[in-house]
Amino acid sequence: MTTIELTRLPHVPAALWRAAVTRNRPPADAGLPDVAVVVRGVRTPTGRLAAYDRLCGFALRDTLPATWLHVLSFPLQAWLMSRPDFPFPLAGILHLGNRMVVEQPVAAGVPLDLSVRAADPRPHRKGVAFDLVGEAWVAGQVVWRGVSTYLTTTRTLPGEPEPTVHLRLPEAPASQQWLLAPDLGRRYAAVSGDYNPIHLHPFTARPFGLSRPIMHGMWTHARALAGLGGALPERYGVRVQFAAPLRLPGRVGFAVAGEAGTTRFAVVGRDGRPHLVGEFESR
């Protein structure tokens, strides 16, 4: 695998634009780029982190939320997908879920080394699924790992798709209610850097077949972790699946229940339909 070191984090809107306009991509069976992209010495802007914490419901503290480390590494994901040798066009890519492991708490002021690579393209019943694998290091030690699973609906691969395994819903009623303002997508874009037009305005979402903008899945993931409050330990593994788009404005409930060492949680609509289902375990 080739390692490419960048001197700074890429500009996400520019990378997404390059990804959107790139033509003549290689076929799906050509494989994913055998590249790891790395940026060293990344520091968290304290003002931006505080705005992120407020918007996602986290209490202000000295350690970084796991989902913030995804936010920091997302520019590397965008850069990797913008390469002309990346086989999947940005249009038609859906975020299916995440897996994250916090190996140790990360202090907000500590410089981080970040990396992202692409892995495991595989047949899916609706196209091709693949992973973008991120890591964060402090002083040469891995402190966080994140795997974002995506689906492209514009390509296929030969072979039999693996059966989809859905995470179980918690056996508990919603204990919290969240109101989602019409401008929540724009506010989250401002702190996360993810300006995908499907999240911003009705008129920018409409060309993608949406009558209203839908909320970033990573805000929903972050808000769910914040909703767990003091239940999250210092070291843990968490998995989430994005079940259905969350349209803005809206109202959702949050349910959580613990069983046999695993805590299950879900973000659900008024009809009980899940938008996000997750679980975490201590490490």
Provide the CATH number for the domain around residue 261: 3.10.129.10
Predicted confidence (pLDDT) per residue in 153-170, tens digit: 989 999 999 888 899 999
In a domain, 39, yes or no: yes
pLDDT (tens, 9 = 90+) of the chain, 283 residues, equals 899 999 999 988 888 888 888 888 999 999 999 999 999 999 999 999 999 999 999 998 889 999 999 999 999 999 999 999 999 988 778 999 999 999 999 999 899 999 999 999 999 999 999 999 999 999 999 999 999 999 999 899 999 998 888 999 999 999 999 999 999 999 999 999 888 889 999 999 998 888 999 999 999 999 999 999 878 888 999 999 999 999 999 999 999 998 878 999 999 998 889 999 999 998 8
64-76 core/surface letters (b: 16 or more CB in 10 A; e: else): bbbbbbbbbbbbb
In a domain, 84, yes or no: yes
Pair (19, 148) in one structural domain: yes
Q: Report, in this order, helix, strand and coil percent for the chain, each rounded to 5.
A: 25, 35, 35
Considering the entire predicted model, what is its pTM?
A: 0.94
In a domain, 162, yes or no: no
Q: Which pLDDT belongs to residue 166?
A: 92
Q: Which pLDDT belongs to residue 90?
A: 81
Pair (208, 94) in one structural domain: no
208 token code pair: 């993608």
Pair (125, 243) in one structural domain: no
In a domain, 184, yes or no: yes
Pair (185, 220) in one structural domain: yes
- The total domain count for the chain is 2
User: Among 268, 215, 264, 269, which residue's Cα sits nearest to residue 239?
Assistant: 264
Among 152, 184, 218, the domain boundary falls at: 152
CA angle 39, 97, 12 (to 5 degrees): 35
Q: Which pLDDT belongs to residue 281?
A: 93
CA 200, distance to chain mean position in Å, is 17
Pair (115, 208) in one structural domain: no
Pair (135, 207) in one structural domain: no
Q: What is the distance between the alpha carbons of residues 162 and 95, in angstroms, rounded to a whole number?
A: 17
In a domain, 160, yes or no: no
Pair (264, 204) in one structural domain: yes
Pair (141, 34) in one structural domain: yes
Pair (145, 210) in one structural domain: no
Show the domain range for 132.
Answer: 2-152
In a domain, 164, yes or no: no
Q: Which pLDDT belongs to residue 274?
A: 96
In a domain, 251, yes or no: yes
Pair (32, 96) in one structural domain: yes
Q: What is the distance between the alpha carbons of residues 23 and 25, in angstroms, rounded to a whole number?
A: 6
In a domain, 241, yes or no: yes
Q: Which pLDDT belongs to residue 47?
A: 92
Q: Which pLDDT belongs to residue 209?
A: 87
Q: Which pLDDT belongs to residue 164?
A: 86
Q: Which pLDDT belongs to residue 51?
A: 96
Pair (40, 148) in one structural domain: yes
Q: Which pLDDT belongs to residue 208?
A: 83
DSSP 140-171: TEEEEEEEEEEEESS---SSPPPPP-PPPPPS
Q: Which pLDDT belongs to residue 60?
A: 85
Among 119, 152, 185, the domain boundary falls at: 152
CA 229, 218, 164, 250: dihedral to nearest 10 degrees? 80
Pair (21, 100) in one structural domain: yes
Q: Which pLDDT belongs to residue 16?
A: 80
